[in-house]
Amino acid sequence: MTRFCFNLNLYGSIGFLTCISVYRYLSIVHPLRVMGRITGGHSVVITAVVWVLVCIQSLPDVYFDKTLSNSSSEKEACFDTTSDFFTKDYLDYSIAWTVSGFCIPLLIILGCYGHVAVVLSTKTNIDQVMKRRCLKLVFLVTLLFSVCYIPYHVFRNLNLKTRILKQERMCQDWFTGIYIAHQVSRALVCLNSAINPLVYLQGNEDLLMQITWLWQRARQSVPQIFNHRIQGQASAPL
């Protein structure tokens, strides 16, 4: 169940980031065509469709055995993907999962943001400061998506392939490097959820100003609270 929730979060994030890229593409490249046509009802339907697709993609993973008992040592080995008996089947599933859950969204995101960058660069009736801010945000979002998600999917499939080769008595020194890179890529893919809000926050100067104002008020109010308490204790009768 833990692994299923991890996959839901991972591929749900990819799905919604893809939807955001399409929405931005339509808003910037075709603003008049979509003006007033995308309503809250459409957003609810799209959200439901994304979650249904993610569940369909992630559900087969639940049925792969992820433990292997050792009768001699009475210990049980746990696997991130599946046990050695089903590695080949899981690799086929993983490749199909990678194509449908990551490669297609990646192409959509690159196409949308690439077209947005071209339109913003060629238009002359846009404020230069706003243009640079939008281009910077497009670049950061695309870079972050690529850095966090591409290594995970590449090394997950390579790690499965090395396990199959080991079962066939083919061992290479670089197998250990693939395994280590896979573990690092798992940390990167989790880091995306923490970094992404900061990227969008960086592009919203009004929100940054509000947070700075709230932080300054908090710093000013804390000493005042302590001073009031100290004065109240000093004036209290013994």
Average of per-residue pLDDT values in the chain: 79
Per residue in 77-133, pLDDT (tens digit) is 677 777 767 788 888 999 999 999 999 999 999 999 888 888 888 877 777 777 777
Q: Is residue 204 scored above 70 in pLDDT?
A: no
Query: Which string of b and e fits 76-105 if b means at least 16 CB within 10 Å?
Result: eeebebbbeebbeebbebbbebbeebbeeb
Question: What's the half-sphere exposure (Cβ side, CA atoms, 13 Å) at 65?
Answer: 11
Please check the confidence at residue 198 and state whether its pLDDT lies above 60. Answer: yes
Could you tell me if 177 and 235 lie in one domain?
no
Task: Check whether residue 46 and residue 68 sit in a common domain.
Answer: yes
Tally of domains in the chain: 2
Same domain, 184 and 233: no
pLDDT of residue 238: 47
Q: What is the mean pLDDT of residues 206-232?
A: 57
Shared domain for 178 and 234, answered yes or no, is: no
My answer on whether 115 and 227 are in the same domain is: no
Residue 103: predicted pLDDT: 93
Domain membership of residue 164 as a residue range = 2-203
CA end-to-end distance (rounded Å), the chain: 60
The CATH number assigned to the domain holding 193 equals 1.20.1070.10
Within this chain, do residues 173 and 135 fall inside the same structural domain, yes or no? Answer: yes
